[in-house]
């Protein structure tokens, strides 16, 4: 059931090169907007160049502009910001290649007021969407559950777009975890498994509890630009299948540590990129790759937490666990 | 001249002139006696040993002709004792006004005016104190071994005892001079006595008292007193030995010349005046020579008058005029002589001698004739024809022998000034001394107007005129009039006249003939503006003129500069048929000359038209005779038949020569062959008298050229390779008349077209491609064109012949040839990627010449259009704004012509992109953007995103947006371009690298320095791999790394990176100055950030002046560097200068950049800081606010520049006392910086520090100072 007001408010724009292939893709994007999930701007890009864009700026559900920008100006700003996000995603994709966890399929950026997702469809095609985050102003730490509807809708859009090309779903966000699929591997000897630690801080039990093969696999806390501590279960026997002779546990741990250190800069950069469209600094960042995801949660201006899961089906679960740990640390911090 | 010498002695008589006091007329006596002796055939050496003025040297200066090293003439030992070298270094004396003195070690030679006799002098320089010491006997021995008859020594006054002994031993004769004072006479007498006593071998002594008045014999007490004082001398028995008297007295009258000059009596005094100093000197000479020489050689009255005028004894009106007679070929010499005469204060006329022309000057006039065979032909070998009045044999006619003229006629040597071996200085002396004239000691007035010495060797003239035509004849009238016009400062002159009449030929001859008188002679083909600009650009290159406005403008400015290195220049604009072509491309000022040739009939307003007519009858006959050796009668017949038109005559000459050769080969005797050729030609010309008006060349009234050309072509058809030569000529008729490079004509592409035009098989022709040179030769023999086989390596075809050849062919054939030549040119053009490679620049330069003449811009042929696109790109890559401007005109015209409206084809789109490039390079970003966007959307629509051309257009759009200050839009475009190129051609391709570079700049501009740094490092590492450390490109990338490192706050890293880059690029032989400047500029900013104020300021100063010198004031890089320099002034405590410089900068930005451009805003922000430094707080707040508002609107509030500007603004407010306004502003800025830039970003650090300072102000706690960090404008 589509809200007729939404339909009336919808504005569509196409780039100069309107190929027939856009038609169905645009239909899918339009469907997302008209579903009323909260997304108010969607744009499709090829190699960072806009193909088409749809928006609901004229609808009351869209957030009011920060300044006196009129809809055409906002449209342009969103399209530009979207393109910049695509560039960041592409460069990140190259950067994440060294983790051997597959391509970056989904990037989520959450700020105090808004959520932006950038899903890779195939090759150089990306779809970027903007949504408002309802009533989260008071919280210091991002809450993924507030935007899970948008997240899921975005993931469906990406999957649908792939289906158009007869491609399998990459299960972005892990929402499509098949409960009837292969059962989770039996817990081998979780009890006597000791997580690997870096840094000397004694950890809250909740932190270590969040680390398990079916959830988060790696956590790193950074303060004032330095790693305060890190803890992981990468060596857990249940995760053995994620490693091989080319990618060892220690190797991956090193790489995650380096990546975690770099994420503060990325969050700053992306925050500045988005600023013309979405106010507020980045509180949550999800880099969803083919195998799992990397999470960034801001705790305070000088404090952030990085988490990793290797299990694609657990991406949403791990995200929720990240939020829990982050809230705890923030409250304690 | 036969010198009479006393065979019995065979040695020099050494005469010392001594005196006990100053002011005795002693030096004057030496000078005059030397002259009298020399004038009577004696070989004389004067020695100027008395440093008191006036010296012998002073008296003789006007007659000096030469100065040579003394040791060459006297031998080393004698030279060393006569003019000993000083120990002091040869620096100017410390005293400000030093007396003029002879130069140490130099032997001066003097002319006895009116004769060929000369004499010499050596002397002591001004810096030498004391007399030459040494053994007098040895000096005497050495002097006597020379071949002088007399050595006259001017001894210093106040001789000490050893000095007297020295003189006594040295001399044969002593002349004791004394002033008319009682005491001095007594001293003189004592001196004379001493000399006589100390002379070992005997000495003759003459007393020469100066007397105030010269009383009648038998009267006057002073005379009696002298006689009494020297009575002992005269009483000595004198008649013991035969020969001259051993003692005597000669009274000398005091000089009473009413002038301040040192007067040489022999030149100034009337002969036969018994009471004159001259008579006294004659008597002294008579006594010295024992009666052998009694009179001075007579000085011609004219010379005496000129001399008396020169030493200001006589007014100018008594001076006769001097006329310089010359054959026009020798005009340079006549100019030079005239200039010298003028400087010496004589009225002179130039007189080009022509048959039958009568001189137009008075009977008193002296005539100086520049001797040449041509002159002799007109004026007779005795030059009788040059006398003002043939009957007046006393009239003075002097010949001047000059370098380069073969004069073998007899001519009295006393009447010749021989300048053949002289350099400029000596020639001047030789000329003037012969005439009794004196050159001003110091050059006076504007030397630019003094004609140069024509035979000066080793003078470098910047010269690009085509080679001289060896068969050029006549045209004297025109050359004279041109020279007269240009030297009279009447401004430019235009040679006009019909085609083939020889205008360019005339200009060329003029340039060669008078090149010696210029610093620069530049030949500028002027058929269109582009060509003129290219010509001026080449000139700018030659004279190293640089200006931001463009090469042509730079060249013109350099010429116009009053204090420039090139004061005397000649610009020749050849073939300027349209006056508009030269608008703004002619020098406006300067002391140079402009000569224009044009077919224009005077209607288009070219300056001072001088119409050139056909040759005169005599000239054409002379030309034909010279080159063919035919009879005057034959020559005249042909000349008349061809209406004396030089071009027709040239063709005819070539035909006859070829015909005669052909006949000779057939066995006809040589003399007959020529005659037969003449007859055949006349018959052939006669046979086609039915004049076809269609064969006239535009701008010509006759068909002579067409008629003879028809005969030439007929002859060629019967000659081996002739048919090919005609085809080649037909193709060449569509190319530049200024010359077609032989590499182009010999190229596969052109030869293929030549084969097509001739009906040959291209493969056959290419197989024997060497034969094209035979084709070239055949055509040149028939004068269809000239071939320069030398450096120029080009074929040149006269425009008139081009026009005729194009007109002669039927329409279809003409179109076919035109098409073929265009295809040949297009095929010669390098390929697209090659167009970006500087190694192919020469090929494009060659093609550039033919772009307009070939009509390529009007062609619809795709291959031709493709070439035009590449050609425009080549111009764009030239880095010369003048070339850009003219290329833009071409490109815009092509765009309009090619633009099919909705359906634009690929070549048109490419032309759009090139046009946009030119716009962007010239700063017209908006125009560039419009074009680029049109192409980009068309490309994307038709060819998709990943098409090569799409990406090129996108790259262009990015640049346009950056130029407009739309950094965020630019960033998005540059990101897409970068990704596209990377996917398409990979990481290492030059296009990808260029895209990375642009993207890095965009990130820096949008304030994401970390990403810019990441890209810069990637790029540097890649270049290190691709090019290695020996390539400046690697270090250029390193400069960007260092700059980005600074922007993220890594100052120490930045310092190290930039220092290394600077050192490395400095060492590289291929490193360019601009690279060094760029690194230096960035390094200065890093140093400044690190607090190294003094080195930073020094570096900025150097950088700024380097940019000014190399790019001009108005270049963006110069402007940015000025702002940086202003900041360094501010840091060094000179806020006043900083404010002034920043103001200048701001005005420049406002003038050049789009409204609201961030650079303008940054400049305003910096200016606010400097104003705060001046305690002008209101001004600071005003400028700061202005900049801040603009930055916030354009770049957003999270851009580092906006945040830096906010911090600055909060500082201004706080400094003004408005802490309450400052605090929330700074708190907000700090918060934003923290959220979007991070805690360690320099802008955040600054904001935090300023926040602390403002809080301290609020709380009244002393401590932290307000921050005042500037913003640096990066390269966009």
CATH classification of the domain holding B143 = 3.40.50.300
A182 found inside a domain: no
Asked if residue B1194 lies in contact with residue B1202, where contact means CB atoms within 8 angstroms, the answer is no
A161 and A20 within one domain: yes
A232 and A167 within one domain: no
Q: To the nearest 10°, the Cα dihedral for B275, B277, B283, B286?
A: -150
Tokens 């039990």 map to which residue? Answer: A205
DSSP B202-262: --EEEEEEEESS-PPTT--HHHHHHHHHTHHHHHS---SSSSS-SEEE--EEPP--SSSS-
Q: Are B940 and A16 within 8 A, CB to CB? A: yes
B477 and B368 within one domain: no
For the domain that residue A144 is a member of, what is the CATH number? Answer: 3.30.450.30
B759 found inside a domain: no
Asked if residue B277 lies in contact with residue B24, where contact means CB atoms within 8 angstroms, the answer is no
Which residues of chain B lie closer than 8 angstroms to A20, CB-CB? none
B550 found inside a domain: yes
CA-to-CA dists, residue B100 to B91, B92, B93, B220, B676, angstroms:
14, 11, 11, 38, 73
A203 and A154 within one domain: no
B144 and B124 within one domain: yes
Question: Which residue segment(s) compose the domain that A18 sits in?
Answer: 4-172
B936 and B879 within one domain: no
pLDDT band at A17 (very low <50, low <70, confident <90, very high): low
Is B987 touching A (CB cutoff 8 A)? Answer: no
Alpha helices in B146-181, H assignment, sequence order: 161-170
Residue where a domain terminates, one of B658, B686, B718:
B718
Is A16 touching B (CB cutoff 8 A)? Answer: yes
A96 and A27 within one domain: yes
Which residues of chain B lie closer than 8 angstroms to A48, CB-CB? 972, 975-976, 979
- What radius of gyration do chain B's Cα atoms show? 42
B296 and B199 within one domain: yes
A267 found inside a domain: yes
Total domains, chain A:
2
B909 and B945 within one domain: no
Mutation for testing the B interface, residue in A94, A111, A272 having most B CBs under 10 Å: A272
B296 and B160 within one domain: yes
Which residues of chain B lie closer than 8 angstroms to A83, CB-CB? 972, 975-976
B569 and B652 within one domain: no
The token pair that represents A142 in the structure block:
């991002």
Distance CA B393, CA B207 (A): 44
Total domains, chain B:
7
Q: Are A48 and B1007 within 8 A, CB to CB? A: no
The token pair that represents B1258 in the structure block:
């609020």
Helix (H, G, I), strand (E, B) or coil at B685: helix
CA-to-CA dists, residue B17 to B30, B31, B118, B161, B201, angstroms:
7, 11, 21, 16, 18
pLDDT digits (tens, 9 = 90+) for A117-150: 999 988 789 999 999 887 756 678 888 888 889 9
A214 and A327 within one domain: yes
Q: Are B979 and A90 within 8 A, CB to CB? A: yes
pLDDT digits (tens, 9 = 90+) for B1153-1184: 888 999 999 999 999 999 999 999 999 999 99
How high is the ipTM of this complex? 0.92
A159 and A225 within one domain: no
Q: Are B976 and A48 within 8 A, CB to CB? A: yes
Half-sphere exposure of B540 (CA within 13 A, CB side): 26
Entry pTM: 0.72
* CA–CA min distance A294, chain B (Å): 21
Which residues of chain B lie closer than 8 angstroms to A269, CB-CB? 1008, 1010-1011
- Three-class DSSP labels, B960-998: HHHHCCCHHHHHHHHHHHHHHHHHHHCCCCHHHHHHHHH
* CA–CA min distance A72, chain B (Å): 15
Half-sphere exposure of A122 (CA within 13 A, CB side): 12
Q: Are A275 and B1198 within 8 A, CB to CB? A: yes
Residue where a domain terminates, one of A172, A207, A225:
A172
Is A49 touching B (CB cutoff 8 A)? Answer: yes
- Beta bridge partners, B794, equal B741, B788
Residue B8 has a pLDDT of 42
Residue B2 has a pLDDT of 40
- Beta bridge partners, B370, equal B400
Question: Which residue segment(s) compose the domain that B75 sits in?
Answer: 13-306
Residue A137 has a pLDDT of 60
CA-to-CA dists, residue B31 to A26, B210, B278, B352, B463, angstroms:
113, 16, 11, 40, 48
Distance CA B122, CA B85 (A): 13
Is A331 touching B (CB cutoff 8 A)? Answer: no
Is A25 touching B (CB cutoff 8 A)? Answer: no
The token pair that represents B491 in the structure block:
């401004």
A167 found inside a domain: yes
- Interstrand relation of A11-14 and A39-46 (parallel, antiparallel or unpaired): unpaired
CA-to-CA dists, residue B820 to A175, B506, B731, B978, angstroms:
70, 34, 8, 41
Residue where a domain terminates, one of B966, B982, B1006:
B1006
Instruction: Tell me the CA end-to-end span of chain A in Å, nearest whole number.
Output: 46
Nearest by Cα to B1077 from B1111, B1030, B1053: B1111
Q: Are B975 and A276 within 8 A, CB to CB? A: no
A211 and A156 within one domain: no
Q: B54: cis peptide before it, omega within 30°?
A: yes
Distance CA A101, CA B1132 (A): 55
* CA–CA min distance A80, chain B (Å): 7
- What radius of gyration do chain A's Cα atoms show? 20
A207 and A149 within one domain: no
Q: Which residues of chain B have pLDDT under 70?
A: 1-10, 85-100, 126-133, 158-159, 212-221, 236-244, 316-319, 356-363, 381-385, 387-395, 407-414, 439-449, 457-458, 547-549, 601-604, 689-701, 1276
A56 and A93 within one domain: yes
Closest chain A residue by Cα to residue B1015: A91
Distance CA B696, CA B498 (A): 10
A168 and A200 within one domain: no
B291 found inside a domain: yes
- Interstrand relation of B13-18 and A11-14 (parallel, antiparallel or unpaired): unpaired
Q: Is B923 exposed, middle or buried (CB count within 10 Å of its CB: 0-12, 13-18, 19+)?
A: middle
Residue B260 has a pLDDT of 73
B942 and B909 within one domain: no
B931 and B916 within one domain: no
Q: Which of B940, B968, B1198 sits opposite A80 (nearest CB)?
A: B968
A129 and A18 within one domain: yes
Asked if residue B1216 lies in contact with residue B1186, where contact means CB atoms within 8 angstroms, the answer is no
Is A124 touching B (CB cutoff 8 A)? Answer: yes
Burial code (b: 16+ CB inside 10 Å, e: under 16) for A137-167 equals: eeeebbbbebbebbbbbbbbbbbbbbeeeee
Q: Are A301 and B1011 within 8 A, CB to CB? A: no
Asked if residue A291 lies in contact with residue A124, where contact means CB atoms within 8 angstroms, the answer is no
B475 and B395 within one domain: no
Is B636 touching A (CB cutoff 8 A)? Answer: no
Mutation for testing the B interface, residue in A268, A271, A277, A278 having most B CBs under 10 Å: A268
Residue B96 has a pLDDT of 46
B582 and B566 within one domain: yes
Is B1200 touching A (CB cutoff 8 A)? Answer: no
| Chains A & B: contacts with CB separation below 8 Å | 69
Is B337 touching A (CB cutoff 8 A)? Answer: no
Which residues of chain A lie closer than 8 angstroms to B1235, CB-CB? 271, 281, 301
Is A113 touching B (CB cutoff 8 A)? Answer: no
Q: To the nearest 10°, the Cα dihedral for B781, B786, B787, B792?
A: 160
Q: Are A281 and B971 within 8 A, CB to CB? A: no
A149 and A8 within one domain: yes
B75 and B25 within one domain: yes
Residue B892 backbone dihedrals phi, psi, to 5 degrees: -65, -40
Closest chain B residue by Cα to residue A224: B1239
């Amino acid at each position: 059931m589509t809200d007729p007001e939404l339909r009336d408010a919808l504005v569509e724009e196409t780039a100069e090169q309107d190929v027939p292939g856009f038609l169905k893709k645009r239909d899918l994007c339009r469907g997302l907007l008209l579903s009323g999930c909260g997304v108010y701007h969607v744009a499709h890009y090829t190699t960072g160049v806009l193909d088409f864009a749809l928006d609901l700026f004229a609808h009351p559900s869209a957030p009011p502009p920060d300044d006196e920008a009129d809809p055409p100006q906002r449209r342009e700003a969103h399209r530009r910001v979207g393109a910049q996000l695509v560039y960041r995603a592409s460069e990140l994709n190259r950067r994440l290649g060294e983790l051997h966890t597959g391509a970056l399929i989904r990037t989520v950026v959450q700020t105090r007021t808004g959520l932006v997702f950038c899903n890779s469809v195939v090759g150089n095609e990306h779809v970027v969407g903007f949504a408002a985050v309802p009533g989260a102003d008071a919280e210091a730490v991002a809450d993924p559950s507030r935007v899970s509807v948008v997240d899921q809708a975005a993931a469906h859009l990406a999957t649908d777009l792939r289906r158009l090309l007869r491609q399998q779903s990459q299960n972005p966000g892990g929402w499509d975890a098949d409960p009837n699929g292969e059962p989770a591997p039996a817990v081998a000897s979780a009890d006597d498994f000791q997580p690997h630690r870096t840094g000397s801080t004694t950890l809250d039990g909740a932190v270590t509890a969040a680390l398990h093969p079916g959830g988060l696999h790696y956590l790193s806390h950074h303060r004032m630009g330095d790693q305060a501590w890190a803890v992981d279960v990468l060596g857990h026997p249940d995760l053995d299948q994620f490693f091989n002779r080319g990618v060892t546990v220690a190797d991956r741990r090193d790489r995650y540590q380096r990546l975690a250190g770099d994420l503060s800069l990325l969050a700053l950069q992306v925050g500045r990129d988005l600023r013309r469209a979405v106010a507020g600094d980045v509180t949550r960042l999800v880099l969803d790759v083919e195998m799992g995801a990397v999470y960034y949660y801001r705790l305070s201006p000088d404090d952030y937490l990085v988490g990793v899961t290797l299990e694609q089906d657990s991406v949403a679960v791990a995200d929720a666990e990240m939020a829990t740990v982050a809230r705890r640390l923030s409250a304690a911090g | 001249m036969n010198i009479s010498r006393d065979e019995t002695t065979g040695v020099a008589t050494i005469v010392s002139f001594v005196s006990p006091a100053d002011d005795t007329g002693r030096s004057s006596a030496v000078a005059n006696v030397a002259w009298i002796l020399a004038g009577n055939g004696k070989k004389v050496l004067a020695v100027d040993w008395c440093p008191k003025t006036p010296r012998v040297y002073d008296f003789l200066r006007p007659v000096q002709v030469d100065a040579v090293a003394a040791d060459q003439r006297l031998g080393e030992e004698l030279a060393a004792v006569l003019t000993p070298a000083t120990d002091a270094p040869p620096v100017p004396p410390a005293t400000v006004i030093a007396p003029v003195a002879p130069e140490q070690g130099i032997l001066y030679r003097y002319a006895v005016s009116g004769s060929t006799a000369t004499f010499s002098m050596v002397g002591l320089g001004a810096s030498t104190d004391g007399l030459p010491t040494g053994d007098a006997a040895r000096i005497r021995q050495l002097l006597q071994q020379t071949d002088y008859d007399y050595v006259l020594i001017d001894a210093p006054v106040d001789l000490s005892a050893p000095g007297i002994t020295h003189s006594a031993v040295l001399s044969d004769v002593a002349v004791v001079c004394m002033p008319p004072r009682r005491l001095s006479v007594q001293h003189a007498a004592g001196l004379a006595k001493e000399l006589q006593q100390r002379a070992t071998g005997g000495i003759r002594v003459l007393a020469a008292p100066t007397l105030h008045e010269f009383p009648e014999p038998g009267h006057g007490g002073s005379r009696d007193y002298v006689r009494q004082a020297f009575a002992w001398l005269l009483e000595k028995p004198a008649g013991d030995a035969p020969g001259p008297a051993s003692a005597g007295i000669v009274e000398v009258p005091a000089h009473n010349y009413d002038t301040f000059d040192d007067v040489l009596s022999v030149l100034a005094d009337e002969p036969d005046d018994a009471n004159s100093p001259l008579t006294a000197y004659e008597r002294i000479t008579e006594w010295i020579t024992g009666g052998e020489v009694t009179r001075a050689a007579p000085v011609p009255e004219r010379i005496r008058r000129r001399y008396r005028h020169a030493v200001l004894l006589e007014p100018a009106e008594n001076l006769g005029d001097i006329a310089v007679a010359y054959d026009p070929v020798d005009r340079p010499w006549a100019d030079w002589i005239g200039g010298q005469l003028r400087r010496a204060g004589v009225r002179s006329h130039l007189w080009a001698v022509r048959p039958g022309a009568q001189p137009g000057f008075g009977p008193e006039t002296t005539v100086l004739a520049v001797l040449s065979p041509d002159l002799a032909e007109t004026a007779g070998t005795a030059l009788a024809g040059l006398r003002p009045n043939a009957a007046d044999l006393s009239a003075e006619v002097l010949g001047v022998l000059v370098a380069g003229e073969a004069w073998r006629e007899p001519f009295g040597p006393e009447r010749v000034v021989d300048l053949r071996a002289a350099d400029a200085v000596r020639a001047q002396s030789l000329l003037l001394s012969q005439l009794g004239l004196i050159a001003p000691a110091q050059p006076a007035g504007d030397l630019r107007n003094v004609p140069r010495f024509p035979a000066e060797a080793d003078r470098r003239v910047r010269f690009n005129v085509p080679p001289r035509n060896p068969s050029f004849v006549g045209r004297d009238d025109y050359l004279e009039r041109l020279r007269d016009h240009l030297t009279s400062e009447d401004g430019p002159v235009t040679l006009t006249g019909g085609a083939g009449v020889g205008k360019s030929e005339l200009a060329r001859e003029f340039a060669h003939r008078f090149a010696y008188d210029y610093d620069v002679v530049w030949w500028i083909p002027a058929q269109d503006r582009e060509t003129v600009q290219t010509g001026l650009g080449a000139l700018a290159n030659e004279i190293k003129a640089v200006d931001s406005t463009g090469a042509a403008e730079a060249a013109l400015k350099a010429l116009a500069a009053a204090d420039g290195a090139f004061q005397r220049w000649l610009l020749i604009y050849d073939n300027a048929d349209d006056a508009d072509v030269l608008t703004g491309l002619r020098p406006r000022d300067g002391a140079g000359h402009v000569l224009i040739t044009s077919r224009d009939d005077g209607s288009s307003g070219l300056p001072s038209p001088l119409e050139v007519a056909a040759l005169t009858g005599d000239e054409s006959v002379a030309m034909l005779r010279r080159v063919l050796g035919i009879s005057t009668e034959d020559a005249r017949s042909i000349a008349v038949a061809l209406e004396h038109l030089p071009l027709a005559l040239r063709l005819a000459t070539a035909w006859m020569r070829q015909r005669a050769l052909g006949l000779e080969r057939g066995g006809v005797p040589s003399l007959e062959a020529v005659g037969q050729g003449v007859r055949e030609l006349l018959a052939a010309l006669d046979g086609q008298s039915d004049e076809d008006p269609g064969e006239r060349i535009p701008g010509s009234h006759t068909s002579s050229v067409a008629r003879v050309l028809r005969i030439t072509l007929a002859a060629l058809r019967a000659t081996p390779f002739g048919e090919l030569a005609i085809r080649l000529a037909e193709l060449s008729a569509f190319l530049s008349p200024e010359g077609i490079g032989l590499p182009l004509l010999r190229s596969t592409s052109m030869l293929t077209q030549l084969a097509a035009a001739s009906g040959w098989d291209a493969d056959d022709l290419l197989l024997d491609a060497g034969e094209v040179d035979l084709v070239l030769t055949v055509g040149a023999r028939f004068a269809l064109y000239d071939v320069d086989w030398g450096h120029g390596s080009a074929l040149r075809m006269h425009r008139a012949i081009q026009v005729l050849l194009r007109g002669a062919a039927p329409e279809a054939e003409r179109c076919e040839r035109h098409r073929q030549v265009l295809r040949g040119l297009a095929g010669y053009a390098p390929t697209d990627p090659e167009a970006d490679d500087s190694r192919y620049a020469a090929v494009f330069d060659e093609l550039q010449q033919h772009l307009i003449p070939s009509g390529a811009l009007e062609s619809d042929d795709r291959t031709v259009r493709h070439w035009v696109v590449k050609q425009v790109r080549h111009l764009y890559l030239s880095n010369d704004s003048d070339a850009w401007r003219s290329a833009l005109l071409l490109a815009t015209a092509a765009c309009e012509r090619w633009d099919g409206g909705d359906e634009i084809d690929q070549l048109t789109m490419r032309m759009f992109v090139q046009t946009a490039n030119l716009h962007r390079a010239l700063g017209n970003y908006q125009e560039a953007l419009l074009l680029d966007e049109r192409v980009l959307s068309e490309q994307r629509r038709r060819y998709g995103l990943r098409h090569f051309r799409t990406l090129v257009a996108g790259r262009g759009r990015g640049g346009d947006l950056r130029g407009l200050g739309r950094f965020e839009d630019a960033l998005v475009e540059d990101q897409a371009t970068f990704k596209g190129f990377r996917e398409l051609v990979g990481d290492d391709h030059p296009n990808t690298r260029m895209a990375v570079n642009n993207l890095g700049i965009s990130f820096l501009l949008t304030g994401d320095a970390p990403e810019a740094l990441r890209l810069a490092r990637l790029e540097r590492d890649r270049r290190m791999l691709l090019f290695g450390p020996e390539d400046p490109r690697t270090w250029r990338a390193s400069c960007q790394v260092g700059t980005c490192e600074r922007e993220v706050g890594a100052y120490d890293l930045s310092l190290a990176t930039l220092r290394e880059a600077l050192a490395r690029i400095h060492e590289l032989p291929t490193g360019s100055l601009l690279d060094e400047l760029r690194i230096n500029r960035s390094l200065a900013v890093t140093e400044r950030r690190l607090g190294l104020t003094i080195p930073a300021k020094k570096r900025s100063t150097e950088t700024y002046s380097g940019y000014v010198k190399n790019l001009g004031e108005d270049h963006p890089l110069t402007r940015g560097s000025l702002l940086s320099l202003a900041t360094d002034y501010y840091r060094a405590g000179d806020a006043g200068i900083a404010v002034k410089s920043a103001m200048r900068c701001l005005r420049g930005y406002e003038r050049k950049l789009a409204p609201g451009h961030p650079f303008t805003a940054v400049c305003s922000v910096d200016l606010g800081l400097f104003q705060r430094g001046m305690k002008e707080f209101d001004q600071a707040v005003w400028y700061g606010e202005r900049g801040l508002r603009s930055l916030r609107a354009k770049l957003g509030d999270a851009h580092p520049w906006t945040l830096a500007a906010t911090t600055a603004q909060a500082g201004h407010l706080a400094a003004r006392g408005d802490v309450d306004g400052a605090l929330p502003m700074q708190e907000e800025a700090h918060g934003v910086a923290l959220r979007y830039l991070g805690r360690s970003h320099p802008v955040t650090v600054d904001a935090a520090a300023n926040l602390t300072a403002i809080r301290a102000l609020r709380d009244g706690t002393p401590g932290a100072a307000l921050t005042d960090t500037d913003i640096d404008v990066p390269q966009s």
